[in-house]
Amino acid sequence: MGKSSLLNKLTNRRHLASTSCKPGKTRSINFFSVANDLYLVDLPGYGYARVPVTIRKGWKKLVETYLLQRRSLKLVVLILDIRRDPGADDMDLINWLHHHGIPLLVVLTKADKLSKQKALSRLIAVSKALGNSNLPTPLLFSARTGMGVAQLWDAINRFTLAPPS
C-alpha cells in the first residue's frame, strides 16, 4: 500500500487510483479533482519500481517538467515507506525541490506495519536521514487504519489555502 492507496484513503474512495502489488505502475501524470479548485496529482514513482533506466530517465524529465511549469502547484508530497531509509533518488528529489523553492511534505506510509514505538523510532531516524531542517516533520500515515489522514489534509489545506507569497 503506497501512493495509490494513500490517494484512495485521503479521498475516501476505494478505486480512485489503481493499486498494485508491484511499485512503478503509474507511468503518466494522473489528475484527480477532489474539490472545485483542488487537484491531487499522481506522478510516476521511481523508488522501487523495477523498470529500465531509459523509462526512469523519461519519468524524471516528465516529472521535472511538470513540477517546474505547473504554476498552480502548491505542495509536493513525497511518499516514503517507513520501513526504508530515504534513498539517493529521494535525496536528489528533495534537494532539487528545495533548490527550486517548491514546498515539500514527506509522508511515511505503512506506519501500521510497525509498533507505535518502532514507528516513532523510524520517524526520528528518517527525519535525521533527511537532514534538511527546512522540511516539516514527516507525517506518519496508514492507508489501512487511516492514521495520518486528518494531519495530511491539515497540511494540504495550510499550503493550498495560504495566500500566494
pLDDT band at 135 (very low <50, low <70, confident <90, very high): confident
Q: Indicate the pTM of the whole model.
A: 0.84
Residue 62 is given by DSSP the state H
pLDDT tens-digit profile of 92-104?
889 999 999 999 9
**Nearest in space to 79 (alpha carbons), one of 109, 49, 120:** 109
For 11-36, how does the pLDDT look when each residue is reduced to its tens digit (9 = 90+)?
887 666 555 445 555 556 778 888 77
CATH of 3-160, one of 3.40.50.1220, 3.40.50.300, 3.40.640.10, 1.10.287.310: 3.40.50.300
Residue 159: how many other CB atoms lie within 10 Å:
15
Domain ranges of the chain: 3-160
